[in-house]
């Protein structure tokens, strides 16, 4: 399938559904035969950004590095799915400015819902003080002001969110018309 390169950047709290939606979108895009790469925040941290901590400076550097790789892939015609909390608006906007073809997806769920979904027990540890600088608890999460797509993951199914994103990619010309037909 012919398509344009684009970075689809999923942002949201831990447990909001970023990776789940990204994996489902990946499956649909692979079925279509697209050139695709997935950069999941957890996987990137164990490889590309190993050694960075969770201070604001380290988090910003983590996002800049992911953004750099995304930029290289996007300009070479690859659809890049990035799933990273990326809590600070300014560095997300910096990455957006670097990558001309950029679609921000806000995986939105209330904090209480994210805590209920937390299979790793990270929120519980953060609330008890075992984890410092935890986004949404002891560190801020700055919601995007104008994301191209908002997935209300506590109200919508994963498939509905994927369709919403595919529609936006088609509307913006990254995918040919009729992909959802």
| DSSP labels, 46-115 | HHTTTT--SSHHHHHHHHHHHHHHHHHHHHTT-EEEEE-----HHHHHHHHHH-SSEEEEEEE--HHHHH
Per the domain annotation, does 90 fall within a domain? yes
Per the domain annotation, does 113 fall within a domain? no
- List CB contacts of 131: < 8 A, sequence separation 6 or more: 122, 125, 138
Per the domain annotation, does 147 fall within a domain? yes
Residue 22 domain boundaries:
6-108+141-171
Q: Which of 14, 19, 83, 86 is catalytic?
A: 86
* pLDDT at residue 181, rounded to an integer: 65
Looking at the DSSP assignment, which residues form a beta bridge with residue 105? 10, 149
The CATH number of residue 75's host domain is 3.40.50.300
- The structural domain count of the chain equals 1
pLDDT tens for the chain, residues 1 to 181: 688 999 999 999 999 999 999 999 999 999 999 999 999 877 777 777 777 877 888 889 889 999 999 999 999 999 999 999 999 999 999 999 999 999 999 999 999 999 999 988 999 999 999 988 899 998 999 999 999 999 999 999 999 999 999 999 999 999 988 877 6
Per the domain annotation, does 115 fall within a domain? no
Residue 16 a catalytic site member: no
Q: Which of 74, 88, 10, 90 is nearest to 42 (CA)?
A: 10
CA 12 to chain centre: 7
Per the domain annotation, does 135 fall within a domain? no
Per the domain annotation, does 1 fall within a domain? no
CA distance 19 to 23: 6
From residue 174, alpha-carbon distances to 44, 55, 77, 122, 180 in Å are: 25, 35, 10, 36, 13
Per the domain annotation, does 88 fall within a domain? yes
Per the domain annotation, does 178 fall within a domain? no
């Amino acid at each position: 399938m012919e398509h344009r390169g684009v970075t689809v950047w999923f942002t949201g709290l831990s447990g909001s559904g970023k990776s789940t939606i990204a994996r489902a979108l990946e499956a649909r895009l692979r079925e279509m035969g697209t050139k695709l790469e997935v950069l999941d925040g957890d996987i990137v941290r164990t490889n590309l950004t190993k050694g960075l901590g969770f201070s604001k400076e380290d988090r910003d550097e983590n996002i800049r590095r992911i953004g750099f790789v995304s930029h290289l892939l996007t300009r070479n015609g690859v659809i890049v799915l990035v799933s990273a909390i990326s809590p600070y608006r300014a560095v997300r906007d910096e990455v957006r400015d670097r990558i001309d073809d950029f679609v921000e997806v806000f995986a939105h769920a209330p904090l209480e819902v994210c805590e209920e979904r937390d299979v790793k027990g990270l929120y519980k540890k953060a609330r008890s003080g075992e984890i410092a600088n935890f986004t949404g608890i002891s560190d801020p999460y700055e919601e995007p002001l104008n994301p191209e797509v908002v997935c209300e993951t506590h109200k919508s199914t994963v498939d509905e969110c994927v369709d919403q994103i595919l529609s936006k990619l088609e509307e913006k010309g990254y995918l040919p018309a009729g992909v959802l037909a």
